[in-house]
Amino acid sequence: METLTTAPLCENLPPLPQRTIEERRKLKIKLPELLWVEKLMRKNAAHMHARTEHTLHHDGMDLPIYSLTLGSQKPASPTLLITGGVHGLERIGTQVILSWLQTLLERCRWDTHTKALLAQIHIVILPLVNPVGMLNNTRSNGNGIDLNRHAPVQANEKTPFLAGGHRLGNWLPWYRGKTGAELEPELAVMIKVFKRYMQSPATTLGMDLHSGFGFHDRLWFPYAYSKEPIANISDYVALKLMWERNYPHHNYLFEPQSMHYCTHGDIWDYLYDLNKAEGNSHFLPLTLEMGSWNWVKKRPRQLFNFNGLFNPQLPHRRARVLRDHLVLLDFLCSATLNHEQWQPDKKMAESFAQMAQGIWYKARQ
Ligand SMILES: [Zn+2]
Protein backbone atom coordinates (compact mmCIF):
# COMPACT_ATOMS: atom_id res chain seq x y z
CA MET A 1 0.00 0.00 0.00
CA GLU A 2 1.24 3.47 -0.86
CA THR A 3 1.58 5.88 2.00
CA LEU A 4 -0.11 9.23 2.29
CA THR A 5 3.26 10.95 2.16
CA THR A 6 4.25 9.86 -1.34
CA ALA A 7 7.00 12.19 -2.50
CA PRO A 8 5.75 14.59 -5.16
CA LEU A 9 6.93 13.95 -8.69
CA CYS A 10 8.31 17.32 -9.72
CA GLU A 11 7.24 17.01 -13.35
CA ASN A 12 3.63 16.69 -12.16
CA LEU A 13 3.65 19.93 -10.22
CA PRO A 14 4.14 23.31 -11.92
CA PRO A 15 5.84 26.11 -9.98
CA LEU A 16 3.23 27.64 -7.69
CA PRO A 17 2.99 31.41 -7.16
CA GLN A 18 5.05 32.81 -4.30
CA ARG A 19 2.57 34.69 -2.13
CA THR A 20 2.98 37.08 0.74
CA ILE A 21 1.19 36.43 4.03
CA GLU A 22 -1.18 39.27 3.17
CA GLU A 23 -2.01 37.72 -0.23
CA ARG A 24 -2.64 34.33 1.35
CA ARG A 25 -4.91 35.97 3.90
CA LYS A 26 -6.86 37.67 1.13
CA LEU A 27 -7.19 34.44 -0.86
CA LYS A 28 -8.29 32.52 2.22
CA ILE A 29 -11.21 34.91 2.57
CA LYS A 30 -12.05 35.65 -1.06
CA LEU A 31 -10.82 32.68 -3.07
CA PRO A 32 -10.26 29.65 -0.83
CA GLU A 33 -11.10 27.42 -3.80
CA LEU A 34 -7.77 28.35 -5.48
CA LEU A 35 -5.83 27.41 -2.33
CA TRP A 36 -7.82 24.15 -2.19
CA VAL A 37 -6.78 23.32 -5.80
CA GLU A 38 -3.12 24.06 -5.00
CA LYS A 39 -3.26 21.95 -1.83
CA LEU A 40 -4.62 18.98 -3.80
CA MET A 41 -1.90 19.50 -6.42
CA ARG A 42 0.87 19.53 -3.79
CA LYS A 43 -0.46 16.51 -1.92
CA ASN A 44 -1.22 14.36 -4.93
CA ALA A 45 1.58 14.91 -7.40
CA ALA A 46 2.12 11.14 -7.48
CA HIS A 47 -1.37 10.57 -8.87
CA MET A 48 -2.22 13.67 -10.83
CA HIS A 49 -0.51 15.87 -13.40
CA ALA A 50 -1.11 19.59 -12.92
CA ARG A 51 -0.33 22.31 -15.41
CA THR A 52 -0.58 26.10 -15.29
CA GLU A 53 -2.50 26.91 -18.47
CA HIS A 54 -2.48 30.68 -18.02
CA THR A 55 -1.84 33.15 -15.24
CA LEU A 56 -4.13 36.13 -14.77
CA HIS A 57 -2.83 39.17 -12.90
CA HIS A 58 -5.34 40.90 -10.71
CA ASP A 59 -5.15 43.15 -7.69
CA GLY A 60 -1.37 42.67 -7.54
CA MET A 61 -1.71 38.88 -7.41
CA ASP A 62 -1.05 36.00 -9.77
CA LEU A 63 -4.16 33.89 -10.25
CA PRO A 64 -3.37 30.80 -12.33
CA ILE A 65 -5.85 28.71 -14.30
CA TYR A 66 -4.82 25.11 -13.68
CA SER A 67 -5.61 21.93 -15.55
CA LEU A 68 -5.44 18.62 -13.70
CA THR A 69 -5.19 15.29 -15.48
CA LEU A 70 -5.43 11.79 -14.09
CA GLY A 71 -5.52 8.30 -15.45
CA SER A 72 -4.50 6.76 -18.74
CA GLN A 73 -2.26 8.75 -21.06
CA LYS A 74 -3.13 6.68 -24.13
CA PRO A 75 -4.73 8.90 -26.81
CA ALA A 76 -7.30 6.20 -27.61
CA SER A 77 -8.61 6.07 -24.04
CA PRO A 78 -12.07 7.50 -23.52
CA THR A 79 -12.02 10.83 -21.71
CA LEU A 80 -14.07 12.60 -19.07
CA LEU A 81 -13.72 16.39 -19.09
CA ILE A 82 -14.89 18.30 -16.01
CA THR A 83 -14.98 22.07 -15.74
CA GLY A 84 -16.17 24.52 -13.09
CA GLY A 85 -16.05 28.14 -12.05
CA VAL A 86 -16.83 29.50 -15.54
CA HIS A 87 -19.17 31.91 -13.79
CA GLY A 88 -17.29 33.33 -10.84
CA LEU A 89 -20.34 33.67 -8.63
CA GLU A 90 -21.18 30.00 -8.86
CA ARG A 91 -18.38 28.81 -6.59
CA ILE A 92 -20.29 25.76 -5.41
CA GLY A 93 -19.54 24.11 -8.79
CA THR A 94 -15.79 24.33 -8.19
CA GLN A 95 -16.31 23.06 -4.64
CA VAL A 96 -18.30 20.02 -5.86
CA ILE A 97 -15.50 19.16 -8.30
CA LEU A 98 -12.77 19.51 -5.67
CA SER A 99 -14.72 17.52 -3.11
CA TRP A 100 -15.21 14.67 -5.60
CA LEU A 101 -11.56 14.88 -6.75
CA GLN A 102 -10.36 14.69 -3.16
CA THR A 103 -12.33 11.46 -2.70
CA LEU A 104 -11.06 10.04 -6.00
CA LEU A 105 -7.43 10.82 -5.09
CA GLU A 106 -7.78 9.22 -1.67
CA ARG A 107 -9.25 6.10 -3.27
CA CYS A 108 -6.35 5.97 -5.74
CA ARG A 109 -4.18 5.01 -2.78
CA TRP A 110 -5.98 1.83 -1.74
CA ASP A 111 -8.93 0.92 -3.96
CA THR A 112 -8.11 -1.51 -6.80
CA HIS A 113 -11.39 -0.61 -8.57
CA THR A 114 -10.41 3.04 -8.74
CA LYS A 115 -6.90 2.17 -9.88
CA ALA A 116 -8.29 -0.11 -12.62
CA LEU A 117 -10.71 2.63 -13.71
CA LEU A 118 -7.94 5.19 -13.97
CA ALA A 119 -5.74 2.81 -15.92
CA GLN A 120 -8.38 2.84 -18.67
CA ILE A 121 -9.84 6.34 -18.81
CA HIS A 122 -8.43 9.78 -18.93
CA ILE A 123 -9.85 12.49 -16.66
CA VAL A 124 -9.18 16.14 -17.47
CA ILE A 125 -10.31 18.80 -15.01
CA LEU A 126 -10.38 22.59 -15.19
CA PRO A 127 -11.68 23.21 -11.68
CA LEU A 128 -11.58 27.00 -11.68
CA VAL A 129 -11.82 28.61 -15.10
CA ASN A 130 -12.57 32.16 -13.94
CA PRO A 131 -10.53 32.89 -10.79
CA VAL A 132 -10.80 36.68 -11.10
CA GLY A 133 -14.60 36.45 -11.32
CA MET A 134 -14.69 34.16 -8.29
CA LEU A 135 -12.40 36.44 -6.31
CA ASN A 136 -14.63 39.42 -7.15
CA ASN A 137 -17.88 37.48 -6.70
CA THR A 138 -18.99 38.29 -10.23
CA ARG A 139 -20.52 36.11 -12.92
CA SER A 140 -18.29 37.64 -15.58
CA ASN A 141 -14.50 37.55 -15.83
CA GLY A 142 -12.21 40.45 -14.87
CA ASN A 143 -13.08 42.30 -18.09
CA GLY A 144 -16.82 42.11 -17.45
CA ILE A 145 -17.37 39.41 -20.08
CA ASP A 146 -19.68 36.46 -19.53
CA LEU A 147 -17.51 33.54 -20.63
CA ASN A 148 -20.53 31.41 -21.50
CA ARG A 149 -21.85 34.07 -23.89
CA HIS A 150 -18.47 34.77 -25.42
CA ALA A 151 -17.78 31.88 -27.81
CA PRO A 152 -18.08 32.72 -31.52
CA VAL A 153 -21.57 31.24 -31.92
CA GLN A 154 -24.71 33.10 -32.97
CA ALA A 155 -28.12 31.81 -31.86
CA ASN A 156 -30.56 31.11 -34.67
CA GLU A 157 -33.54 31.37 -32.31
CA LYS A 158 -34.97 34.20 -30.27
CA THR A 159 -32.92 34.71 -27.09
CA PRO A 160 -34.09 36.32 -23.85
CA PHE A 161 -33.41 40.06 -23.74
CA LEU A 162 -29.89 40.65 -22.31
CA ALA A 163 -29.65 37.19 -20.68
CA GLY A 164 -29.21 35.50 -24.05
CA GLY A 165 -26.01 37.52 -24.52
CA HIS A 166 -25.60 41.09 -25.82
CA ARG A 167 -22.96 43.51 -27.02
CA LEU A 168 -24.22 46.68 -25.31
CA GLY A 169 -21.38 46.92 -22.81
CA ASN A 170 -19.78 45.30 -19.80
CA TRP A 171 -21.76 47.39 -17.31
CA LEU A 172 -24.61 44.94 -17.90
CA PRO A 173 -24.50 41.23 -17.06
CA TRP A 174 -24.33 38.61 -19.87
CA TYR A 175 -22.01 40.81 -22.00
CA ARG A 176 -20.54 38.87 -24.92
CA GLY A 177 -17.63 41.20 -25.66
CA LYS A 178 -17.05 43.19 -28.86
CA THR A 179 -17.70 41.55 -32.23
CA GLY A 180 -14.54 39.99 -33.61
CA ALA A 181 -12.44 40.85 -30.53
CA GLU A 182 -9.74 38.46 -29.39
CA LEU A 183 -11.05 35.67 -27.19
CA GLU A 184 -10.71 36.21 -23.45
CA PRO A 185 -7.86 34.15 -21.96
CA GLU A 186 -10.19 31.97 -19.85
CA LEU A 187 -12.12 30.83 -22.92
CA ALA A 188 -8.89 30.45 -24.91
CA VAL A 189 -7.66 28.08 -22.17
CA MET A 190 -10.82 25.97 -22.41
CA ILE A 191 -10.45 25.69 -26.18
CA LYS A 192 -6.71 24.94 -25.92
CA VAL A 193 -7.25 22.19 -23.34
CA PHE A 194 -10.16 20.76 -25.31
CA LYS A 195 -8.08 20.61 -28.48
CA ARG A 196 -5.14 19.07 -26.64
CA TYR A 197 -7.06 16.20 -25.11
CA MET A 198 -10.42 15.75 -26.73
CA GLN A 199 -10.13 15.70 -30.46
CA SER A 200 -9.55 12.01 -30.85
CA PRO A 201 -11.95 9.39 -32.14
CA ALA A 202 -12.38 8.14 -28.56
CA THR A 203 -15.62 8.93 -26.81
CA THR A 204 -15.51 11.97 -24.55
CA LEU A 205 -18.04 12.86 -21.89
CA GLY A 206 -18.01 16.31 -20.39
CA MET A 207 -19.57 18.06 -17.44
CA ASP A 208 -19.51 21.77 -16.70
CA LEU A 209 -20.84 22.72 -13.27
CA HIS A 210 -23.07 25.74 -12.72
CA SER A 211 -25.69 26.87 -10.23
CA GLY A 212 -28.55 29.31 -10.11
CA PHE A 213 -31.36 28.18 -12.41
CA GLY A 214 -34.63 27.04 -10.87
CA PHE A 215 -35.62 24.63 -8.13
CA HIS A 216 -34.30 21.41 -9.69
CA ASP A 217 -30.87 20.06 -10.50
CA ARG A 218 -30.72 19.82 -14.26
CA LEU A 219 -28.45 18.08 -16.72
CA TRP A 220 -28.44 20.12 -19.90
CA PHE A 221 -26.93 19.31 -23.24
CA PRO A 222 -26.47 21.34 -26.46
CA TYR A 223 -27.64 23.17 -28.28
CA ALA A 224 -28.15 26.53 -26.65
CA TYR A 225 -28.13 28.30 -30.03
CA SER A 226 -30.73 26.12 -31.75
CA LYS A 227 -33.84 24.13 -30.94
CA GLU A 228 -32.83 21.39 -33.37
CA PRO A 229 -31.50 18.10 -31.96
CA ILE A 230 -27.74 17.61 -32.10
CA ALA A 231 -26.17 14.94 -34.30
CA ASN A 232 -25.61 12.33 -31.57
CA ILE A 233 -28.91 12.88 -29.79
CA SER A 234 -29.34 9.09 -29.64
CA ASP A 235 -26.28 8.87 -27.37
CA TYR A 236 -27.97 11.26 -24.94
CA VAL A 237 -31.16 9.20 -24.96
CA ALA A 238 -29.10 6.07 -24.22
CA LEU A 239 -27.24 7.84 -21.39
CA LYS A 240 -30.47 9.21 -19.91
CA LEU A 241 -32.19 5.82 -20.01
CA MET A 242 -29.21 4.09 -18.44
CA TRP A 243 -28.95 6.72 -15.70
CA GLU A 244 -32.66 6.39 -14.92
CA ARG A 245 -32.62 2.59 -14.92
CA ASN A 246 -29.60 2.53 -12.60
CA TYR A 247 -30.70 5.34 -10.29
CA PRO A 248 -34.51 5.37 -10.37
CA HIS A 249 -34.73 7.72 -7.39
CA HIS A 250 -32.38 10.31 -8.81
CA ASN A 251 -33.39 13.93 -8.80
CA TYR A 252 -32.08 15.40 -12.06
CA LEU A 253 -34.00 16.69 -15.06
CA PHE A 254 -32.18 15.60 -18.21
CA GLU A 255 -32.93 17.87 -21.18
CA PRO A 256 -31.57 20.05 -23.99
CA GLN A 257 -30.83 23.57 -22.81
CA SER A 258 -32.94 24.98 -25.66
CA MET A 259 -36.06 23.61 -23.97
CA HIS A 260 -35.72 26.52 -21.55
CA TYR A 261 -34.00 29.33 -23.39
CA CYS A 262 -31.51 29.93 -26.16
CA THR A 263 -28.30 31.91 -25.90
CA HIS A 264 -25.48 33.22 -28.05
CA GLY A 265 -21.89 32.27 -27.44
CA ASP A 266 -22.29 29.02 -25.50
CA ILE A 267 -18.90 27.37 -25.08
CA TRP A 268 -20.27 23.81 -25.34
CA ASP A 269 -22.14 24.57 -28.55
CA TYR A 270 -18.87 25.88 -29.94
CA LEU A 271 -16.72 22.92 -28.83
CA TYR A 272 -19.35 20.40 -29.88
CA ASP A 273 -19.54 21.79 -33.42
CA LEU A 274 -15.76 22.13 -33.58
CA ASN A 275 -15.42 18.46 -32.75
CA LYS A 276 -18.15 17.48 -35.20
CA ALA A 277 -16.57 19.47 -38.02
CA GLU A 278 -13.44 17.35 -37.57
CA GLY A 279 -15.48 14.18 -38.01
CA ASN A 280 -15.51 13.12 -34.36
CA SER A 281 -19.08 12.43 -33.42
CA HIS A 282 -18.92 10.99 -29.92
CA PHE A 283 -18.58 14.01 -27.69
CA LEU A 284 -21.28 14.35 -25.04
CA PRO A 285 -20.97 17.60 -23.11
CA LEU A 286 -23.36 18.06 -20.20
CA THR A 287 -23.95 21.06 -18.00
CA LEU A 288 -25.01 20.46 -14.42
CA GLU A 289 -27.23 23.37 -13.40
CA MET A 290 -27.70 23.06 -9.65
CA GLY A 291 -31.09 24.47 -8.72
CA SER A 292 -29.98 27.06 -6.21
CA TRP A 293 -33.44 28.64 -5.81
CA ASN A 294 -34.19 25.75 -3.47
CA TRP A 295 -31.51 26.95 -1.09
CA VAL A 296 -33.09 30.40 -1.20
CA LYS A 297 -36.59 28.97 -0.64
CA LYS A 298 -35.38 27.21 2.48
CA ARG A 299 -33.62 30.33 3.73
CA PRO A 300 -35.22 33.46 2.18
CA ARG A 301 -32.68 35.66 3.93
CA GLN A 302 -30.22 34.51 1.25
CA LEU A 303 -32.09 36.76 -1.17
CA PHE A 304 -30.36 39.73 0.39
CA ASN A 305 -26.95 38.20 -0.14
CA PHE A 306 -26.00 38.08 -3.84
CA ASN A 307 -23.66 35.18 -3.20
CA GLY A 308 -26.55 33.36 -1.54
CA LEU A 309 -28.53 33.23 -4.79
CA PHE A 310 -25.94 30.90 -6.26
CA ASN A 311 -24.40 29.05 -3.33
CA PRO A 312 -25.72 27.28 -0.23
CA GLN A 313 -24.91 29.39 2.82
CA LEU A 314 -25.43 27.05 5.77
CA PRO A 315 -22.66 24.50 6.44
CA HIS A 316 -25.01 21.49 6.57
CA ARG A 317 -26.65 22.49 3.29
CA ARG A 318 -23.27 23.01 1.61
CA ALA A 319 -22.13 19.58 2.85
CA ARG A 320 -25.29 18.05 1.40
CA VAL A 321 -24.64 19.61 -2.01
CA LEU A 322 -21.01 18.44 -1.92
CA ARG A 323 -22.11 14.83 -1.38
CA ASP A 324 -25.26 14.93 -3.53
CA HIS A 325 -23.41 14.86 -6.85
CA LEU A 326 -20.73 12.27 -6.05
CA VAL A 327 -22.88 9.44 -7.42
CA LEU A 328 -23.43 11.29 -10.69
CA LEU A 329 -19.71 11.98 -11.15
CA ASP A 330 -18.83 8.35 -10.41
CA PHE A 331 -21.54 7.24 -12.83
CA LEU A 332 -20.02 9.46 -15.55
CA CYS A 333 -16.62 7.81 -14.95
CA SER A 334 -18.19 4.36 -15.42
CA ALA A 335 -20.20 5.53 -18.44
CA THR A 336 -16.98 6.89 -19.99
CA LEU A 337 -15.11 3.64 -19.40
CA ASN A 338 -17.97 1.44 -20.65
CA HIS A 339 -19.24 3.60 -23.49
CA GLU A 340 -19.22 0.67 -25.90
CA GLN A 341 -21.79 -1.05 -23.70
CA TRP A 342 -24.42 1.66 -23.99
CA GLN A 343 -23.77 3.75 -27.08
CA PRO A 344 -26.42 2.62 -29.57
CA ASP A 345 -25.55 0.94 -32.86
CA LYS A 346 -26.91 2.41 -36.10
CA LYS A 347 -30.27 0.66 -35.88
CA MET A 348 -30.84 1.52 -32.22
CA ALA A 349 -29.66 5.07 -32.88
CA GLU A 350 -32.54 5.61 -35.29
CA SER A 351 -35.17 4.52 -32.79
CA PHE A 352 -33.49 6.51 -29.99
CA ALA A 353 -33.46 9.60 -32.21
CA GLN A 354 -37.22 9.15 -32.72
CA MET A 355 -37.64 8.72 -28.99
CA ALA A 356 -35.77 12.01 -28.48
CA GLN A 357 -38.38 13.74 -30.62
CA GLY A 358 -41.09 12.47 -28.28
CA ILE A 359 -39.24 13.34 -25.09
CA TRP A 360 -37.77 16.73 -25.91
CA TYR A 361 -38.67 18.14 -29.32
CA LYS A 362 -42.38 17.33 -29.70
CA ALA A 363 -43.55 20.94 -29.64
CA ARG A 364 -41.67 21.63 -32.87
CA GLN A 365 -43.26 18.82 -34.90
ZN1 LIG B 1 -23.43 29.54 -14.70
pLDDT of residue 1: 39
The helix (H) or strand (E) run that includes residue 286 is: strand 283-290
* 5 or 229, which is more confident: 229
Q: If you measure from the C-alpha of residue 147 to the centroid of ligand 1, how many angstroms do you get, rounded to a whole number?
A: 9
87 C-alpha to ligand 1 centroid (Å): 5
CA distance 104 to 83: 16
Q: How far is the CA of 129 from the centre of ligand 1 (A)?
A: 12
Q: Where are the domains of the chain?
A: 10-360
Q: Compute the distance from residue 50 Cα to the ligand 1 centre, in Å.
A: 24
Q: Which run of H or E residues covers position 126?
A: strand 122-126
Cα of 15 from ligand 1 centre, angstroms: 30
Question: Which residues have CB atoms below 5 A from the ion given as ligand 1?
Answer: 87, 90, 210
CA distance 99 to 77: 25
Q: Give exposure, 62-86, as e/b (b: 16+ Cβ within 10 Å).
A: ebbbbbbbbbbeeeebbbbbbbbbb
86 Cα to the center of ligand 1, angstroms: 7
Cα 95 to ligand 1 centroid, rounded to whole Å: 14
Q: How many A from CA of 110 to the centre of ligand 1?
A: 35
pLDDT band at 309 (very low <50, low <70, confident <90, very high): confident
- What proportion of the chain, given as a percentage, has pLDDT over 90? 78
What pLDDT is stored for residue 8 in this prediction?
A: 41
Question: Are the CB atoms for 229 and 360 separated by under 8 Å?
Answer: yes
Distance 309 CA to ligand 1 centre (A): 12
Structure confidence at residue 78 (pLDDT): 93
pLDDT at 160 over 60: yes
CA–centroid distance, residue 74 to ligand 1 (Å): 32
Q: What is the mean pLDDT of the chain?
A: 91
Q: What is the 211 CA–ligand 1 centroid distance (Å)?
A: 6
pLDDT of 137:
93
Q: Report the percentage of the chain scoring pLDDT > 70.
A: 92
CATH number, domain 10-360: 3.40.630.10
